Structure 1
Amino acid sequence: MPSPAIIAELRETLRTIEGDGYRRRETLPFGIPTFDSRIADGGLRLDALHEIAAGTANLGDDAAATLFIAGIAARAWGPVLWVVRRRDLFAPGLYQAGLSPERVLYAEARDDAELLALMEEGLRHRGLGAVIGEVKRATMGATRRLQLAAEGGRTIALLMRRHPREDADPLGTPSAALTRWRITSAPSAPSRHGMGRARWTVALERQRGGDPFQTLMEACDDTGRLALPAALGDRSRAPGRASPRTAAA
């Protein structure tokens, strides 16, 4: 029977080789059980790279994807580094998604290569809650470096894949990202006071250790939280109706 010291040493060696550890990685859940239960880690792993793309190249979908990212960053701890190629972020809009301006550090990169290098540097710093970048092109090697830089820390890496061309799929190239999301604007429900809360079609296109899925969600509120549309939430609790897992599909 091996001694406890040898077992502990072996486990440490395996953690180093596999990079996956025996301790549960910290995650950032969305706070919606029927949604989080469909994500392999029960939420977004903090020490990992996650990719997000707009459903189409139009401005509405681009804004939805940006606010989806802002909502995630808003719920992370600490300061946020946002690396951009162009100065088109609207601070009041980010604030409405829960990301206050005093938390955000902006860096402007000349090209995608410099942007990815700045993201990698930010992830290795270990003092940031989130590192965000927006690129048109990133190779498998570049995303693997971001994933390796994030591992072992508590800084979530969020890479927005912009449409390189209107007819191109920004998520069509291989990536080392743990999850890949596609966010598309959806019609909001009317209310007594006009249009209701904005809605998005949120599609998890790929996740390591889990299946893809798609669901209709209400957009981030001022705390960065998504919500199930009221009709889906009511249906999931009504007797004789579909289960919460099915209602969110």
Structure 2
Amino acid sequence: MSALASPDQRPCADQLAALRAQLTQAERLRGPVLAFGVTSLDEPLAGHGLDSCGLHEFAAASAALSDDAATTLFAAGIAARFAGAPGSTVLWALSKFDLYAPGLEQVGLGPDKVLYAQGRKDSEVLALAEDGLRDGALACVLAEVKAADQTATRRLQLAATDGGTPMLLYRRHRARDRCPFDQPSSAMTRWRIGCAPSARLPYPGVGRARWSVELVRQRIGHPFSLEVEACDDQGRLALPASSRDRADTPERARGQAGAVHRAA
């Protein structure tokens, strides 16, 4: 049997035009892209950055508190950069308020940029996040939940598109031996973050924070992983100084000692 379609089965000009229109419309639904400013991060990403009208998920590499803190600051640094314009506000929805404000401020997310909303359980946190997205007035919405099924993530993705607002979902409070990414999701990107050994400095007991960053999944493109220096006070990442691409990155991360801890 021939692998070629018969003339009757081949798409007509009208069908091709309709398909092109659908593809164009889908592309228009993508928002402006926020680049990390680090070549090794941006080049493998579809669009070379994070879609500002999409859902992006984060999970800690382990149940360790250090990885939880690294993930929190990684997401907070992204939120700070989305909220870079004066007067911009980030909505942070959560069920347990244990954030360490000085740590957030050291990655560029000061108290004047954050509006906190607390729900009693995940369903309430997700509802708060969805309302914030659909309002369209926020620079970014960040939410912490233990679980969110595919229906919930689909609603968040649609709300992010409708409101033109980026959604950052931290799947926190993970079980010790189970990664939250075992659950399916409609997210555009899924990131796993952990701590890496700090660079040695000439001062005893002090080191520059480094993180292992793994893109587990993206809609268009391949997964990848690399090691980066922690966010600076503008929310920007950088490659370690030993990297050959170091000159192409923003200025080195500063003052992260002690900034990766949540309040007890």
TM norm structure 1:
0.85
Change (3 A) 1:110 1:22: closer
Please identify the structure whose Cα radius of gyration is greater.
2
CA contact 2:30–2:51 (8 Å) conserved in 1 = no
Equivalences for residues 19-98 of structure 1 within 5 A: 20-22=26-28, 25-77=31-83, 78-98=88-108
- Cα offset for 1:153? 3.9
Distance 2:29 2:95 in 1: 37
Task: Give the length in aligned residue pairs.
Answer: 228
Equivalences for residues 89-168 of structure 1 within 5 A: 89-168=99-178
CA contact 1:28–1:76 (8 Å) conserved in 2 = yes
Gaps of 5+ in 1: 1-5, 238-249
- After superposition, the C-alpha distances for 1:51-108 in whole angstroms (9 at most, x for unaligned) are 0001111110000000001100110132000001101011111000111111100000
Equivalences for residues 164-179 of structure 1 within 5 A: 164-179=174-189
What fraction of aligned residue pairs are identical, expressed as a percent? Answer: 52
2:22 to 2, 10, 14: 14
1:202 aligns with 2:213: yes
Equivalences for residues 219-234 of structure 1 within 5 A: 219-233=230-244
Distance 1:127 1:59 in 2: 33
What RMSD, in angstroms, separates the aligned Cα atoms of the two structures?
2.3
CA contact 2:30–2:54 (8 Å) conserved in 1 = no
- After superposition, the C-alpha distances for 1:153-172 in whole angstroms (9 at most, x for unaligned) are 43110000114411111111
- Cα offset for 1:35? 1.6
TM norm structure 2:
0.81
Distance 2:30 2:91 in 1: 26
CA contact 1:46–1:153 (8 Å) conserved in 2 = no
Structure 1 counterpart SS, 2:187: coil
Change (3 A) 1:148 1:24: closer
Distance 2:30 2:144 in 1: 29
**Greater mean deviation of Cα atoms: 148-157 or 107-116:** 148-157
- After superposition, the C-alpha distances for 1:87-132 in whole angstroms (9 at most, x for unaligned) are 1011111000111111100000110011111100000000001101
Structure 2 counterpart SS, 1:107: strand
Residue 166 of structure 2 aligns with an amino acid whose one-letter code is I
Structure 1 counterpart SS, 2:193: strand
